[in-house]
Structure 1
Amino acid sequence: MTDWPGFCRQLLQRGERRLLIVSGEQDWAQARAQSLLSSLAPAHILWLGEAPFAQPHCPLGKFHTALGREYHHLVFNAFSGLHPDALGAAVGALAAGGLLVLLCPPLQRWHAYADPDLRRYVALPEQAEGLNSRFITRVIALLHSAPGVLLWQQHRPVPTLPLLSGAPWRLQRDRHGCLNRQQRHALALLLRGARRGVPVVLTADRGRGKSSLLGLAAGRLLRAGKRVLLTAPSPDAAARALAHCEPDLPFMAPDALLAERPAADVVLVDEAAALPVPMLLALARRYCCLFASTEHGYEGTGLGFTLKFQPALAALSPTVGKAHIGTPARWSQGDPLEPLLFRLLALDSNPPAPPSAGAPNMEWVTRQRLLADDTLLQQVFGLLTLAHYQTRPSDLRQLLDAPGVSLAVVFRQGVPVAAALLQREGELDGALATAIWRGQRRPRGHLLPQSLCFHGGLMDACDFGYARIMRIVVHPACQQAGIGSQLLGWLKQQVNIDFLGTSFGASPELLTFWSRNGFLPVRLGLAADGVSGLHAAMMLWPASSRAQSVLHEWQGQFGADMRDEGRTMPTGLPLPPPRVNEQRDARRAHDFACYHRDLHADRPALRRFIAHHTPVHPPTPHQQALLQAALHPGAEPAQVAKRLGYAGQKSVITALRLAMKCYF
């Protein structure tokens, strides 16, 4: 049987979808997919990744444009990279009766393929060459054992399509427009919250009809005379809500909504997890909001909506309503594709309940061990998910594939109860370090040395080796027992490197935890994180004598820069005693003038340098006014441009570099 349209009709009758793997050389696989699609209905076909000439497609890096829409068929070109976030988002947009066509190299060689997505996990593109992907190895193993997967291999016959049987799947809307009992309950809660002025949070996995439910609620409210507005990360993300609302529902972008503050009784926020937490809270303070969000982190902020926003919303409004939809609406509960996707991306990973007693046992766990023990992988990844509000499916691939990653796990009676994920950084080539210092290069990764070098004004920071603790987590049932501190103490004994380091949202609680464990602050970010609303703090613990000899000097410069800008540490941590190094200030001033160093980072050093040096060539009166205005603590270049008549921020910085050259 090669009647693909007939097979898709059978799938639609059962409310199911299928994965078709087309495995071979790229040109052959693309041609097969193009031929297959020509025999299927052309409407609502999404092609992700590189496509044959004239075939409409969406680059994998722009997969967010697929959110909020529904497609009859999907082609995912893994030759362009097996991007986990894009795969998760796209499959959630595939309707019943649809095929997910996965194009990939021959399965036996796919793990060694030069996957473009691997470049996201290395500092330099060439470092991805020759890497074997454990993530893809795991994917292949799971696909081989998954029921209902169709495999079409080059030089092999077209797969035989099974005849499907069983009770037909029917979608029937009730008089309210709902498809099931969970939707009816959620609709009632949305309407009740709107009438009472109480916020409501509606959560669901993809394909549960939450966006269409927002549209139904909006129609009811508009017909009742309420002033209703819809907002979302983009108009595309709000398309389904708009399609299910009568009469027309006004849409406003969230930033415009907060800036213009139009009158509204209710604001509907679709795909809420894709918006920064501070923005969501600002909307909640201004309006009665009904929030709808996907659960599993396909949007840009992952679990921030659950771990950061919802507790903050409950503090604002203790009577917040909550509804969850688990029953699928775009496909039947017998659909095999969704559970396969969850398994591939570990979307439903949860840490097991820990034993109530037992001595902790700490050990390094290799990625090969995780690959061989999928239960342990799911348990550990579930733990790590609890540790950070920006977890995405891509973090699973980082755990398995990223070079320089190591994992320490605390077991109790064989059950993982805590974990730390570390990334090796630093010890960079001298030419690359100089280019980073001058603002000419910004390679991926190496967060601590790059940030300390470029933003912190520490030119020698790239010379040292770091083990950055990306995540450290203790199971909630085991917290407040000192396990996290015990794990840090164990890591201090284990690492053979210059620094243990960390970068995190600087809440007073976390600052206290890290300082209590001997870590010292060396940088505080200038801008608050868009999700947490916190400034990023960087703290180091010196593991070598070489590191000990420079850390107090680094702290002294950090303290001097903070003091001279009028900045303070968040509650709970004193500012390090300032220590000015005139030679370092002179180097920062010279390279700001001659290269591309950052004004906000170097402004304290520029101000100190000017105060103690006479210009070689006297600056003009206009340059003197610019130096005084732009180097004032807290000055913003855009405002300086308006005041002094410059075209904009860039022209101010260009003119400032020229003015600084008068001193050299």
Structure 2
Amino acid sequence: MRKKVDERIRTLISNGVKNRHRSMFVIVGDKSRDQIVNLHYMLSNEVKKSRPTVLWCYKDKLELSSHKKKRAKQVKKMMQRGLLDPEKVDPFSLFVESGGLTYCLYKDSERVLGNTFGMCILQDFEALTPNLLARTIETVEGGGLVILLLHSLTSLTNLYTMVMDSEGISESQRELKDLKEQLSDAFPVGPLIKKCCTLDQGNAVATFLDAILDKTLRSTVALLAARGRGKSAALGLAISGAIAAGYSNIFVTAPSPENLRTLFEFVCKGFDQLDYKEHIDYDVQKSSDPSLKKATVQINIYKQHRQTIQVNLYARLVTIEYIRPHEHEKLSQVELLVVDEAAAIPLPVVKSLLGPYLVFLSSTVNGYEGTGRSLSLKLLQQLEEQSQVSAKGPTSGRLFKKIELKESIRYASGDPIESWLHGLLCLDITNYIPKLNGLPAPSECDLYYVNRDTLFSYHKDSELFLQRMMALYVASHYKNSPNDLQLMADAPAHHLFVLLGPVDESKNQLPDILCVIQVCLEGKISRESAMKSLSDGHQPSGDQIPWKFCEQFQDTVFPSLSGARIVRIATHPSAMKVFSHYGFQSNMYNQDFVEMVIYNQGSVEMIGYGSQAVELLTRYYEGQFAPISELDVEDVETPPLRVTEAAEKSGVTGEHTCMVLKSLKNDELETSDFRPFNLDFRRRFLRLLGYSFRTMDYRLAMSILDPKINYKDGEPKSSTTDGFLRSITDLLSPYDMKRLEAYTSSLADFHMILDLVPTLSHLYFQEKLPVTLTGAQASILLCIGLQNQDISYIEGLMKLERQQILSLFIKVMKKFHKYLYAIASEGLVSTLPKPKETLLEPHKISVDDDLNDAARKVEREIK
């Protein structure tokens, strides 16, 4: 029996299309697929243009296969089982066969980024994660539908209709129209800007073309925006304008080839505006690689002269080949480099791409793709500072411009779905960082434990507090994703702390957050599990520090301890200059917290804000925790002992991760118990400085090693001296000492002793050569002896002249030779035979008596 469709559904879809706002439907029941056909039909009638495309996302299985032959077999089996009437046409089967559907597994959802659809269907609701929700919903265009399919639900919330904005041309649309008329006679800006949909996009294209027409090839233009603002389209139009301006070699780099569909689509649309004809003036080449799914990889233009647009794809398996210096000749002839979604590409890769040519960067700052802020926090800040320095200097350096797109194109401004999604997943929270009223002294600050049940209760005050916490996460850490929010809310081992200044409870306002700490309790792993993990070569998920320690040192006792891992410390941007003070204060309070609660159980103090009390914050000494045996700090430099450092760089930031351990005051473990692990770490780190850490900044390497360089007495300890004397002949031969003496006497070049420097450097940084050096001398020794760097590299690194470096280096060698010569001399003396002592005894008679006796003897012989 046919039923009349509720008029509210038609009204919602109709209003959404008119105002270019997206609509969401939740369909409950096993027959929900039949209603998809009806909703798509109503949407098609309202759109009155090409049939809306559909994105169907699912976990692992579709009710009807996306493959035509497999789907026919499924329909046949359903007819045989009586589930389908063979005499009636199944509307859903017709809907599937009519085309326009894009199927996507949740695990492969990254490939839909940058694409636009009229309808998004999310099957298997229980498999959705915050990342998937943000990734898929934001692909729907204005007026489109978002449909959630549920098999069963006990209760449904009411659907609310939104009051829509009045029709008519907005102020920004009038300004865009004026801009198009103003630039209509300019070439190539005039024809291209006609394809722009918003004023922001029009200004962005005009800025790009200004840099292109300047032709100094010394500009870097960064385009920042949330999703759906037309970044890729603006870049595509700018590329077509560069071709019209005579540029010959243009390279495009992106994290995924499918992210470039919109960009190349608008390159071709720009060509249409410039009266270029496909197959006559240019041709488009698709990739022959099946994994790239016929993505555009090259465009050849023949209208003026042979020009080429190529796409270099960043992929995980070929990242190293892409950034190796000896392959940098791929960009030797480039005139324009376009980096789309630069924030999704590892920061070192982006830095290596910058060169003496025009560079366009685009990055998403809000939404799913905008949660990784390393690009905006580091690279853009560095480029801006370099541009300001070059502008003040006598020579002209690179110019830097930053463009932001705020007005949405994919859907109208004020879209309720965007507001809901951003509010739900804390995607647009950069505006939630309040200005600090002042920076209190660290000693006046208190650490508070955050009640997560209250934090995620959706109370207006706790919601604002959550937004501020997430804003600090995004602004101060390198990589974030919506799944971090789920981890904060649900992970039982994770706990949250905030460092606040003095709290005035008489004021009805939330306190300023200076620092946020996320802590994870780990450990208490049985020795049997640790031994099994080592024998299997498999590291289970979770308990990162115990398993990493077990793997690095092959130790099965450490995982049985319990500890707290500081996952991250996020500090307010205005307090970054005093980060070490606030970070140390937070760490100290955190340590005191987990120690004191073992012995003290205080009452909970409620702090209320707003109309009712919110049980949100508890002072650090008023909680109750399980005892722990060690405190771990990850990604934070602190005085406790370092025990491991990852030899592989992070794929996002290009940095290494260091693990630091500290025992608690009230625990039986002492810092000295970790000393053997620290010594082993130092030895391994010294060996790897010539390999994995060869490009590490010398200041960071010196900070990690923290070597002893000041020996007041100038003499080694007896144990060190004995050990050194026994091994000196194995380390340095007499010929080595002769060469070292010749160099220190300025009779030989420093290349004559380069083979000795690594040996001497290892001995010195292991504190086996008690020679006092200055910081500069020790740093040069580290660069040459441990990192195997040449003098030219050190010149640029330390900003010193070559003669200064060699002067400091020869002073080091003279001190080493003096000490080694003394040690060798002592060893040589000990090997010589000892002289025999001669005993002298006095004569029994005097000299006179002896002479008289001799005289008498002679007289007798004469007679």
Question: TM-score scaled by structure 2?
Answer: 0.56
Q: CA deviation at 1:546?
A: 3.3
* Cα distance in 1, alignment partners of residues 31 and 529 from structure 2: 41
The code of the aligned residue for 2:205 comes to L
**Structure-1 residue corresponding to 2:684:** 561
After the TM superposition, which of the residue ranges 2-11 and 477-486 deviates more from structure 2? 2-11
Matched, 1:291 2:351: no
Please say if residues 231 and 268 of structure 1, whose CA atoms lie closer than 8 Å, have aligned partners that are also in contact. yes
**Structure-2 residue corresponding to 1:123:** none
**Structure-2 residue corresponding to 1:530:** 651
Tell me the secondary structure at the aligned position of residue 108 of structure 2. Answer: helix
**Structure-1 residue corresponding to 2:116:** 70
Matched, 1:192 2:277: no
* Cα distance in 2, alignment partners of residues 107 and 355 from structure 1: 48
**Structure-2 residue corresponding to 1:88:** 134
Find 1:44's aligned residue among 53, 58, 74.
Answer: 53
Give the 3 Å change call, closer, same or farther, for CA 11–428 of structure 1 in structure 2.
same
Per-residue CA deviations over 1:435-491 (Å, capped at 9, x if unaligned) read: 432353232222211222213433333222221111112213334442221111111
* Cα distance in 2, alignment partners of residues 352 and 53 from structure 1: 51
* Equivalent residues, number: 521
Tell me the secondary structure at the aligned position of residue 682 of structure 2. Answer: helix
Task: Please show how residues 498-537 of structure 1 align to structure 2 within 5 Å.
Answer: 498-504=629-635, 511=637, 514-515=638-639, 519-537=640-658
After the TM superposition, which of the residue ranges 346-355 and 528-537 deviates more from structure 2? 346-355
**Structure-2 residue corresponding to 1:231:** 253
Task: Please show how residues 351-390 of structure 1 align to structure 2 within 5 Å.
Answer: 351-356=433-438, 359-372=444-457, 373-390=462-479
* Cα distance in 2, alignment partners of residues 343 and 146 from structure 1: 18
* Cα distance in 2, alignment partners of residues 371 and 184 from structure 1: 41
Find 1:304's aligned residue among 374, 378, 384.
Answer: 374
The code of the aligned residue for 1:219 comes to S
Please say if residues 498 and 542 of structure 1, whose CA atoms lie closer than 8 Å, have aligned partners that are also in contact. yes
* Cα distance in 1, alignment partners of residues 685 and 356 from structure 2: 34
Give the 3 Å change call, closer, same or farther, for CA 257–213 of structure 1 in structure 2.
farther
Q: CA deviation at 1:29?
A: 4.8
Task: Please show how residues 379-418 of structure 1 align to structure 2 within 5 Å.
Answer: 379-412=468-501, 413=503, 414-418=511-515
Tell me the secondary structure at the aligned position of residue 349 of structure 2. Answer: helix
Matched, 1:221 2:226: no
Please say if residues 284 and 313 of structure 1, whose CA atoms lie closer than 8 Å, have aligned partners that are also in contact. no
The code of the aligned residue for 1:503 comes to E
Give the 3 Å change call, closer, same or farther, for CA 565–212 of structure 1 in structure 2.
closer
Tell me the secondary structure at the aligned position of residue 447 of structure 2. Answer: strand
Find 1:314's aligned residue among 351, 361, 384.
Answer: 384
The code of the aligned residue for 1:345 comes to L
**Structure-2 residue corresponding to 1:205:** 226
After the TM superposition, which of the residue ranges 52-61 and 232-241 deviates more from structure 2? 52-61
Per-residue CA deviations over 1:313-334 (Å, capped at 9, x if unaligned) read: 3355552110000011111113
* Cα distance in 1, alignment partners of residues 12 and 161 from structure 2: 13
Give the 3 Å change call, closer, same or farther, for CA 103–442 of structure 1 in structure 2.
farther
**Structure-2 residue corresponding to 1:250:** 310
Find 2:673's aligned residue among 547, 550, 561.
Answer: 550
The code of the aligned residue for 2:104 comes to C
Q: CA deviation at 1:188?
A: 1.9
Give the 3 Å change call, closer, same or farther, for CA 8–531 of structure 1 in structure 2.
same
Q: CA deviation at 1:99?
A: 0.8
Tell me the secondary structure at the aligned position of residue 267 of structure 1. Answer: strand
After the TM superposition, which of the residue ranges 430-439 and 187-196 deviates more from structure 2? 430-439
Give the 3 Å change call, closer, same or farther, for CA 244–355 of structure 1 in structure 2.
same
Q: CA deviation at 1:526?
A: 0.7
Give the 3 Å change call, closer, same or farther, for CA 497–257 of structure 1 in structure 2.
closer
The code of the aligned residue for 1:18 comes to S
* Cα distance in 2, alignment partners of residues 145 and 356 from structure 1: 45
Give the 3 Å change call, closer, same or farther, for CA 31–389 of structure 1 in structure 2.
farther
After the TM superposition, which of the residue ranges 494-503 and 555-564 deviates more from structure 2? 555-564
Tell me the secondary structure at the aligned position of residue 453 of structure 2. Answer: helix
Q: CA deviation at 1:39?
A: 6.4
* Cα distance in 1, alignment partners of residues 652 and 260 from structure 2: 21
Please say if residues 371 and 474 of structure 2, whose CA atoms lie closer than 8 Å, have aligned partners that are also in contact. no
Please say if residues 56 and 121 of structure 2, whose CA atoms lie closer than 8 Å, have aligned partners that are also in contact. yes
Matched, 1:17 2:22: yes
Task: Please show how residues 125-144 of structure 1 align to structure 2 within 5 Å.
Answer: none
Tell me the secondary structure at the aligned position of residue 514 of structure 2. Answer: strand
Please say if residues 527 and 556 of structure 2, whose CA atoms lie closer than 8 Å, have aligned partners that are also in contact. no
Q: CA deviation at 1:168?
A: 6.1
Matched, 1:328 2:408: yes
Per-residue CA deviations over 1:196-253 (Å, capped at 9, x if unaligned) read: 3201100000111110000000001011111222221121001101000134443222
Please say if residues 354 and 477 of structure 1, whose CA atoms lie closer than 8 Å, have aligned partners that are also in contact. yes
Identity %: 24
* Cα distance in 1, alignment partners of residues 154 and 512 from structure 2: 34
Matched, 1:419 2:419: no
Tell me the secondary structure at the aligned position of residue 545 of structure 2. Answer: helix
Gaps spanning 5+ residues in structure 1: where? 110-139, 150-161, 505-509, 578-632, 635-664
* Cα distance in 2, alignment partners of residues 320 and 234 from structure 1: 26
**Structure-2 residue corresponding to 1:484:** 583
Give the 3 Å change call, closer, same or farther, for CA 95–360 of structure 1 in structure 2.
same
Please say if residues 276 and 301 of structure 1, whose CA atoms lie closer than 8 Å, have aligned partners that are also in contact. no
**Structure-2 residue corresponding to 1:266:** 336
* Cα distance in 1, alignment partners of residues 37 and 633 from structure 2: 48
Per-residue CA deviations over 1:50-86 (Å, capped at 9, x if unaligned) read: 3433155322222211111111111123534231122
Q: CA deviation at 1:31?
A: 5.9
The code of the aligned residue for 1:275 comes to I
Please say if residues 476 and 572 of structure 2, whose CA atoms lie closer than 8 Å, have aligned partners that are also in contact. no
Tell me the secondary structure at the aligned position of residue 490 of structure 1. Answer: helix
Q: CA deviation at 1:571?
A: 3.4
* Cα distance in 2, alignment partners of residues 475 and 452 from structure 1: 32
Please say if residues 250 and 335 of structure 2, whose CA atoms lie closer than 8 Å, have aligned partners that are also in contact. yes
Please say if residues 342 and 361 of structure 2, whose CA atoms lie closer than 8 Å, have aligned partners that are also in contact. yes
Question: TM-score scaled by structure 1?
Answer: 0.72
* Cα distance in 1, alignment partners of residues 553 and 363 from structure 2: 37
**Structure-1 residue corresponding to 2:860:** none
**Structure-2 residue corresponding to 1:462:** 559
